[in-house]
A and B are shown apart, each in its own frame.
Chain A
């Protein structure tokens, strides 16, 4: 079946540091890939997505590139801010009405 593996947290960074959160997936064919973010006290919200190989999703300074050859969708940001502190979830969907399969989530803490 489909699955998503992402790096365990928490990840603690200083403000303006470079961020990478690794995500790899297992699925047949070409799933769509997503990053969702859950800020403290708020609901899950879509951060970015990519629907085909080599696509790059981007939003709020975050980027992720759909790599079919490595089955990866790593999340990156060049300079994190304290306000980026949240839990980040990598997810995929493969047909069937866009039912999402999530990774376990990675907590990011950004300190001054």
Chain B
């Protein structure tokens, strides 16, 4: 079956511009996660959605970052006024339910480069 997909696969943007990154989770998965993989910080959690509950935004590094999940499916991560330190690979993962018994399936990531 289809896995987690992300688009675009690569994004180059100028400093100060806004960007939107998209994640399509596996159908039927109620939990969705965003992570960031960067040279300086490694792999770090950003935000977590579970069903219709309020998202856990505890990992977002600044108020320039936001995310939404429409209809319990597709999610968009938005970075406003991008900075060079935002350059990273942004990974999305989904699982059937948010819990340690449920495997997270990762997408291929979006490589963001801020020039």
- Cβ of A101 within 8 Å of any chain B Cβ, yes or no, is yes
CA distance A100 to B103 in the complex (A): 11
Question: When the two chains form their complex, are residues A99 and B106 in contact, meaning their CB atoms are under 8 A apart?
Answer: no
- Cβ of B95 within 8 Å of any chain A Cβ, yes or no, is yes
| Chain B residues, Cβ within 8 Å of A46 | 103-104
| Chain A residues, Cβ within 8 Å of B101 | 51
Q: Mask for B89-115, Cβ within 8 A of A = 1, else 0?
A: 001010100111111111111000000
Question: When the two chains form their complex, are residues B56 and A103 in contact, meaning their CB atoms are under 8 A apart?
Answer: no
Question: When the two chains form their complex, are residues A100 and B45 in contact, meaning their CB atoms are under 8 A apart?
Answer: yes
Whose C-beta in chain A lies nearest to the C-beta of B101?
Answer: A51
How many residues belonging to B are interface residues under a CB distance threshold of 8 Å? 29
Interface set of A (CB-CB < 8 Å, partner B): 32, 42-46, 49, 51, 89, 93, 96-105
Distance (Å) between the CB of B50 and the closest chain A CB?
6
| Chain B residues, Cβ within 8 Å of A101 | 45
- Cβ of B68 within 8 Å of any chain A Cβ, yes or no, is no
Q: List 20 A-B contacts (CB under 8 A).
A: A42-B108, A43-B91, A43-B106, A51-B100, A51-B101, A93-B100, A96-B48, A96-B56, A97-B31, A97-B56, A98-B98, A98-B104, A99-B33, A99-B59, A100-B35, A100-B43, A101-B45, A102-B35, A102-B42, A102-B43
